[in-house]
Amino acid sequence: MHQGCWGEQLVRVHADARRRFVADLFPTPGDVNVITIFPGITNAWHRHQLQDDYFYVIKGSVKLAIVDPEGATRVWLLDEAAAEVVRVPRNHWHGYENVGPERAIMLVYLTQKYNVNDEERRALSEMPWPA
């Protein structure tokens, strides 16, 4: 990320068949991100050692699953009417699924700037997604 000619921040954008991820929107110690998730898409599993994540659904319905270090799973159904923020502590596996018929939009705050070396991933074949 770098600044444009008027001092505006230029953000990171990642887009693929699953989602559109606009990252590092504001100059904060962490990352403020907006994620658009396409219907029926599951994005799981990953965890971080250096950051906590905060999830808030702006539009649509999203299933958020978190697995703690002891292996216990918690699941939330977040939607635009819920007005609920869920914290994912560091060292907890997590993922999300758009369970609605339209695109879902989430606001996600990371307590640290994104660090590619602080992300461990597992495939759904290794850790099944909760029903």
8 A C-beta contact, residue 27 and residue 102: no
Residue 15 one-letter amino acid: A
Please tell me the predicted confidence (pLDDT) of residue 25. Answer: 64
Topology (CATH level 3) of domain 12-115: Jelly Rolls (2.60.120)
- Every domain of the chain and the residues it spans: 12-115
Please tell me the predicted confidence (pLDDT) of residue 8. Answer: 58
pLDDT digits (tens, 9 = 90+) for 2-51: 444 455 556 667 677 777 766 676 678 899 899 999 999 999 999 999 99
pTM check: above 0.85: no
Helix (H, G, I), strand (E, B) or coil at 84: coil
Count CB neighbours of 68 within 10 A. Answer: 12
